[in-house]
A and B are shown apart, each in its own frame.
Chain A
Amino acid sequence: MSVKPTSDQILSFFDERGADLKAFYMVAAGAQAFADHQWNPAVHFLCKGASFLKGKAGREDLLGYANELASSAAQELRKTNDVSVSLMSADQVKNYCKFATTR
């Protein structure tokens, strides 16, 4: 998201029965971890959030945001030596959550 969302936009993220709350919490926790430079929890929460959002109509924006942020966190992780993410190829890092959650 390039600009701060309005409260109406935030409310529009919520299903009538709050069914997507889990996904929002996960993405929010991942975004916060990213902001805190906690890259490992960031990729974990963002991919969990992304998997909850996968295939849900009207959630494509948030799904894209979670995927992109997870890939950015993985890029940050790769800057350090001897970390798990260095086992991944550049392509896998680019599509981080898709690679991690699809079998």
Chain B
Amino acid sequence: MSARTSTAGRCVLCAIVVWMAALCCAPPAQAGAIASCRAPFGFGGAEVNLVVLPYYQEGPSPVDLNGTGTQIALLLKLETLFRATAFDRWGIILMTGTKRECDPDLIARRMMASEIRPGGRLILLWGKLYQQDDDIYVQSYVRFFRRPAPNESAPPVQLLMEVGGKPFSGDVSSQDLVFPPELLTRPELAAIQNNFAKSAFFYQQPNLDAARRPIPLDQFRKCMQCQDPLAFTVEARQGDWIRVKQIDGPEEYLLAHLEEGLSLNRRLPEVTFVQGLLGYLRYQTVSPQRPAAAMKLAEDALMRYASREEAAREPETKAVALQLAGILDSAEDRDPSGKFDTAFQLAPYSSDARNLAVIVELNRTFHSPESKLRPREIVDDFVAAVALDPENPLVLANLQSFYELIASPGVQGKIDPQFTLKPEEIESRLTQIKAIRKKMTAQSNPGTN
């Protein structure tokens, strides 16, 4: 290699490093990447990173389903890119590698340790393909996380509200979600293959006849260049295409949304759920000026998922969709109580689902001029939530807040006399709850006393 080409090479390398650093630390509003599971990558400055992992074959099948799994993962990533353009400050990464390298627990640990900035959120989407009798099924899983900010000891709760000056808080019933398995017919499997054959390229123009170069998925799968992800900014959406740009490269196009033969959204309703979740995690903590249109879009996506017939087959995931939509409602001062009630009916064994339903109803009753609080019923509701998970610290804290609320002189006019509690009962219960909480804190932090 001559000195001249070596210098030129170093310059290109420097430019790549500077550009990658810029993408990582102060990412543009929307960015995408392809990376190896051996070297997990996230956009450090993004509010939310979504990682799509390959779908692997589970169990025996006369046909190799792993190829289809890779194709589904790329199509899901592209469809998600397409749907996410209404939101900002996200990164969507397709990771590839062997099943062991792409283990979701391992990727989550590595991402949270080094790739997600404090306060940042991570969504993992992965799945499996399996054969039952003659039929092929696909099933997806989603897990989401928030890395605590430097001043937080743990991720904050999903919903925090003040009622009569007392704090009440709740979390959604699960952050680890399973979606119903979906049958893939032979024509649908063929459609996946056809759509992948069209989508696995960077096109020079937004049409299928334009010059194109392949997305180097195999390179990342085999880890030939696994240290450097292929990252690009998402510039705009144009029909079914999205315009992207890599460092020093021309603008190119990805075919992101394909309906021919198989609509991913129609076959895999989790596509809509993930769109809503991405919007929820992006905007849930934004204040005071929230982008109402983007939040409404996220809420609509979650509600569209919940209204799908297939969603009923995994009630806990449907419950979470309703809870997330309800929290977005609360942020926009809309009454979300119906959503939380339905979520509890779907997951009646969930302490968190019951807790959320109770605090939202309490808030609504308290602020409604014509309604009165029924302390006995509300206490029973909180105690039932405790019974479902005796170590749930949020429910006990809420119960304490509730007793303190109804002991306040200013609240007496809001209480239905038929359901009132005697002051000495309130006092004794408060003493009891404080002792329980103190004991629980001591047990969870044995070294602090």
Interface residues of A (CB under 8 A from B): 39-40, 43-44, 47-48, 50-52, 74, 77, 81-88, 92, 96, 99-103
Closest to A39 in B: B390
A82 CB contacts on chain B under 8 angstroms:
432, 435-436, 438-439
In angstroms, Cα B389 to Cα A50, docked, is 14
B436 CB contacts on chain A under 8 angstroms:
82-84, 86-87
- A84 and B349 contact, Cβ closer than 8 Å, known pairs A100-B384, A103-B344: no
- A92 and B387 contact, Cβ closer than 8 Å, known pairs A82-B435, A84-B436: yes
Closest to B389 in A: A44
Which residue in A51, A77, A87, A101 is a CB contact (below 8 Å) of B429?
A87
B384 touches A103 (CB 8 A): yes
A39 to chain B, nearest CB (A): 8
B384 CB contacts on chain A under 8 angstroms:
99-103
B381 CB contacts on chain A under 8 angstroms:
103
In angstroms, Cα B391 to Cα A39, docked, is 11
C-beta contact mask, B359-394 vs A, less than 8 Å → 1, else 0? 000000000000000000000110111111111000
- A84 and B390 contact, Cβ closer than 8 Å, known pairs A103-B348, A103-B354, A103-B381: yes
B433 CB contacts on chain A under 8 angstroms:
87
A39 CB contacts on chain B under 8 angstroms:
390
B345 CB contacts on chain A under 8 angstroms:
103
B383 touches A87 (CB 8 A): yes
A96 touches B391 (CB 8 A): no
A83 CB contacts on chain B under 8 angstroms:
390, 436, 439
Which residue in B383, B390, B399 is a CB contact (below 8 Å) of A43?
B390
B381 to chain A, nearest CB (A): 7
In angstroms, Cα B265 to Cα A61, docked, is 41
18 intermolecular pairs with C-beta atoms under 8 Å apart: A43-B388, A44-B351, A44-B390, A47-B387, A47-B388, A50-B349, A77-B390, A83-B439, A84-B391, A84-B436, A85-B386, A87-B429, A87-B432, A88-B383, A92-B383, A100-B349, A100-B388, A103-B348
B433 to chain A, nearest CB (A): 7
B2 to chain A, nearest CB (A): 67
- B328 on the interface (CB 8 Å rule)? no
Closest to B357 in A: A103
- A48 and B396 contact, Cβ closer than 8 Å, known pairs A87-B383, A87-B432: no
A102 touches B432 (CB 8 A): no
In angstroms, Cα B354 to Cα A51, docked, is 14
A88 CB contacts on chain B under 8 angstroms:
383, 387
Which residue in B387, B435, B439 is a CB contact (below 8 Å) of A99?
B387
Q: 11 other contacts beyond A47-B349, A81-B435, with CB at 8 A cut-off? A: A47-B388, A82-B436, A87-B433, A88-B383, A92-B383, A92-B387, A100-B384, A101-B384, A102-B348, A103-B354, A103-B384
A51 CB contacts on chain B under 8 angstroms:
348-349
B383 CB contacts on chain A under 8 angstroms:
87-88, 92
A40 to chain B, nearest CB (A): 5
B386 touches A101 (CB 8 A): no
A47 CB contacts on chain B under 8 angstroms:
349, 387-388
Which residue in A52, A81, A87, A102 is a CB contact (below 8 Å) of B386?
A87
B435 CB contacts on chain A under 8 angstroms:
81-82
- A-B CB proximity, top 6 nearest: A48-B349, A100-B387, A84-B390, A101-B348, A51-B349, A82-B439
A86 touches B387 (CB 8 A): no
A100 CB contacts on chain B under 8 angstroms:
349, 384-385, 387-388
Closest to B391 in A: A40
B114 to chain A, nearest CB (A): 33
A101 to chain B, nearest CB (A): 4
B399 CB contacts on chain A under 8 angstroms:
87
In angstroms, Cα B438 to Cα A82, docked, is 9
- A44 and B388 contact, Cβ closer than 8 Å, known pairs A101-B349, A103-B348: yes
In angstroms, Cα B354 to Cα A101, docked, is 9
B389 CB contacts on chain A under 8 angstroms:
40, 44
B357 touches A85 (CB 8 A): no
Interface centre among A47, A84, A96 (most CB of B within 10 A): A84
Give residues of chain B (298-313) contacting chain A, Cβ–Cβ below 8 Å. none
A68 to chain B, nearest CB (A): 15
Closest to A48 in B: B349
In angstroms, Cα B432 to Cα A17, docked, is 47
Closest to B386 in A: A84
In angstroms, Cα B383 to Cα A88, docked, is 7
In angstroms, Cα B352 to Cα A48, docked, is 13
A103 CB contacts on chain B under 8 angstroms:
344-345, 348, 354, 357, 381, 384
Closest to B392 in A: A84
Interface centre among B351, B384, B433, B435 (most CB of A within 10 A): B384
- A86 and B348 contact, Cβ closer than 8 Å, known pairs A40-B390, A100-B388: no
B388 CB contacts on chain A under 8 angstroms:
43-44, 47, 100-101
B443 to chain A, nearest CB (A): 10
B104 to chain A, nearest CB (A): 20
Closest to B429 in A: A87
